[in-house]
Amino acid sequence: MKIEQLIVQHLYNSRKVTLQDIGTFTLSSDVAFPPETDKESNMPENAVTFQFNKKATQDDDLINFIVAQTRKIKPLATSDLESYSLLAKQFLNIGKPFPIEGLGVLLKSQGGEYEFKQGLHINAKLDAAPALLKEKAEEEINFSTRSKEPASGNKKWMFVLLLFVIIATSAALYYFLKKDNKDNNLEKVVPAANDTIVPKKDTLAKPAIIMPDTTATVAAIPKADSNSFKIVIREYTDQATADKMLAKFTSFGHKLEVYSKDSASYKIAMPFTKPLSDTSRTRDSLKILFGGKPYVEKN
């Protein structure tokens, strides 16, 4: 089970979960969980509230839950949770939404705070403890003497694994920070069209060297590919149903529209003006919010 699934399941169990340096999610006590076979159950409006806290500490109950479900040692479970929180902050700090399956999407506001948009669907609640742990508790006690096995080798491999996770996380953070600095430096080094070049003084009278105009070079740089497209999230056979569902979705704060290419099909879609390379990530985010099978249509 992935770490984000464990986080959501712990929220379903305890009604409250905290992510380090991000904030706390609270689940309303009025939410009823569907059976495991029901995957399209709707989540009530305002069922999950989020409180931003950039100084939030580790959630010990969450770490213990991860240990119980994965049977990992506590330092590894803690490291996995820290890596997940770090990945979430990296996405948010570069202006990208961070989806949490079964819960919603985290966003970063212009003021630098994290905001949460609740999803429309709720996952099935799983058991709190795996069956493997119960079977372990029922094993017979064996009083026979066992030969001692060297523990240094296991500790060495655990240390190497933990060190690898720390190095990989640090490398990812360094890459994103370096990329942002590089983009900022590229914007600064482009010379202005009206800058004048003053030749250095020399003891011999030499003609000033005329530098080539860089305006044409700057203008020749191709702009990023930007295209208009829509992601269709629902499709209906009559306009009345489509208008009704549009009113429901837009009440949650989403910017949507209804259009029809013929009288037999009415589509609810969200318009975008982005590079076409972003369609896959945007479609996945809308799938988490609205469910179903969203698809892309070019304008």
Residue keyed to tokens 């429309």: 120
Q: Which of 102, 117, 133 is the last residue of a domain?
A: 133
Residue 241 lies in a domain: yes
d(CA 82, CA 150): 30
Beta carbons of 218 and 190 less than 8 angstroms apart: yes
- Residues 127, 246, single domain; the answer is no
Is residue 170 classed as helix, strand or coil in its secondary structure?
Answer: helix
Question: Is-above-0.95 flag for pTM?
Answer: no
Name the token pair of 160.
Answer: 């190497």
Residue 282 lies in a domain: yes
Q: Of 84, 105, 133, which marks where a domain is finished? A: 133
What is the extent of the structural domain holding 241? 227-298
Number of domain units in the chain: 2
**Three-state SS for 230?**
strand
Question: What are the beta bridge partners of residue 99?
Answer: 105
Residue 177 located in a structural domain = no
Q: What is the pLDDT along the chain (299 residues), one digit of tens a residue?
A: 788 889 988 888 888 999 999 999 998 887 776 665 455 567 788 889 999 998 999 899 999 999 999 999 999 989 999 999 999 999 998 989 999 888 889 999 888 899 999 887 766 555 554 544 444 444 445 555 555 555 566 788 888 889 889 999 988 888 878 776 666 555 554 444 444 444 444 444 455 545 545 444 433 444 445 567 888 888 888 888 888 888 888 887 777 888 887 777 888 888 888 777 777 878 888 878 787 788 888 77
Rounded Cα distance between 281 and 249, Å, is 21
CA distances from 64 to 6, 16, 67, 87, 165 (A): 11, 14, 5, 21, 20
Amino acid at 52: F
Q: Please check whether residue 105 is in contact with residue 119, taking contact to mean a CB–CB distance below 8 angstroms.
A: yes
| Residue 264 lies inside a defined structural domain of this protein | yes
Q: Which of 115, 133, 151 is the last residue of a domain?
A: 133
In a domain, 110, yes or no: yes
Q: Does a structural domain hold residue 196?
A: no
β-strand partners of 175: none
